[in-house]
Amino acid sequence: MSSAHRPNDCHNGGDESGCGRHCLSRCCLRLGDPRSDSAVSASLLHGSSSFDVLCDSSFFKAGKVEPQANFLESLFKQWDDRKVKGLFHHDTNACETKSIPGRYGFIAHLIEGRDLKKRPTEFRIDEVLQPFDENKFNFTKIGQEEVLFRFQESDNGNASVITSESPNVSPIGYGHVLLIPCVLDCLPQRINKESFFLAMSMAKEANTPYFRVGYNSLGAFATINHLHFQAFYLAETFAVEKAPIQTIATLKTGVKISRLVDYPVRGLLFAGGSNFKDLSDTVSAACIFLQDSGIPYNVLISDSGGRIFLLLQCFAEKRSRGEVSQEIVETQMNPAAWELSGYLVMKRRKDFEEASEDTVLSFLNQTSVSASMFGGISESILEALCDGFQP
C-alpha cells in the first residue's frame, strides 16, 4: 500500500510524525492525548457526507470529559466554522430545496454534479455483509484535522460533547455529520447493539425532532464499508414521519411495532417501550436479523429517538438484474435512508425542475420490496424478537 495508510499500524511513542499523514489511525493518534481520547468526532469527507462524528470508547482512554451546555449548539458552531473556512465542496445555502406538491409532502434538494465528486463505491453493492478491507477507503485514512468533536457517555449516564479542532466536505443539509463508533476497531458496516444505542443517544441528546440520524446497510446504498451513521438538521417534517401506521405487535417490553400504511416504501415503525434501551435493543435486534439474513435495509431515527423507521428495499438487486428503468438509472439518485424517508437529493437540474409527486412515487416504488416479501420478512422479524407477542 505505498501512500495508503494501514489502519492496524501502531505508533507507540518514538517518532512523533507517525505515518506523515496525521491520520486517525494508531500510528498518528497518541494515547492520553486529550484531543483524541474519545467517542465522537465529526469530519468533512470526500464526497459522501460532510462530517464524521467519531465514537470510540474502546481505544481512547482519556480523563474525565466535562459536558457542554448544548449538543446541537456545539455541533452547529463547529460546522459553521468549517463552512466559513471554505472546507465544503459546496454551500448548502446555495443549493436549492423545494417542497413537492401533493399529499405526501416530499422534499427535493438539488446538489448539481454531486455524483462526480463522490468517491467510487469499492465493494459489491448487492451484498449486505462484507468483511472490512483495510486496502479500501475507510475512516482511519482521513486526517485528524477533519475531526470536529466527540460524543460519549459521561459518568452520570448523560451524553457529553467535547469540541476539538477539525474540518472538511460534501453536506446534503445543515449540520450534516457522520457518527463513527469505535473507529480504530475497523468494524464493517453492520449494526450491533452498542453502536445503535450510541446513535439513539445522539438523537436523544439533540432534543429536537428536526435532527434525524440515519443508517444505510450495505446493499441499501451505504457507500463505505466502515461502521457509520449519518445525521443532519432540517426544520421540516419528512414524508415517512406523516405516514399512517397500523400496529401489528406489542412486545412484552412495551415496544409497539407498526407497519407503514399507504407509503411507497414498505417498512416498520418501532416506538414506546418501558425505557429507552428497550426500544434501542429491539430495533438493533431487528437490524441484526435482517443483515444476518442478507436483507438490505435503511433506518431513520426520528423524534429524538422516540420513533425508529426500519425500511426495506431491493433497488440495488433490481438494478443489477436490469429491472430498473433506464430513465431512473440516469438520474444517478441513490435510494438511501434520506431518500426513502422523503428527502430526495437530486444531482441534475432537469430532475429537480421536473420533480413531481408522480415521478418521486415512480422512483420509490422501484426501491420497495413486494407486499408478499414484506409480509414474510415482518413475520420473521417478530419471531426473531420474541417467543410471543401481544396482538
Catalytic residues: 228
Place of cell 432540517: 234
Mention every residue, 6+ apart, whose C-beta is less than 8 A from residue 168: 43, 44, 45, 50, 51, 82, 87, 88, 142, 145, 146
Identify the bridge partners of residue 310 per DSSP, sorted by sequence position: 268, 299
Helices (H), the chain: 71-84, 114-117, 193-206, 276-292, 315-320, 326-330, 337-341, 349-354, 357-365, 371-385
* Residue pair 90/170 in contact by the 8 Å Cβ criterion: yes
Helix (H) or strand (E) holding 381: helix 371-385
- Helix, strand, coil % in the chain, rounded to nearest 5: 30, 20, 50
Q: Which of 270, 371, 280, 339 is nearest to 107 (CA)?
A: 339
- The Cα–Cα gap between 287 and 133 comes to 22
Helix (H) or strand (E) holding 260: strand 255-260
Phi/psi for 98 (5° steps) reads -145, 150
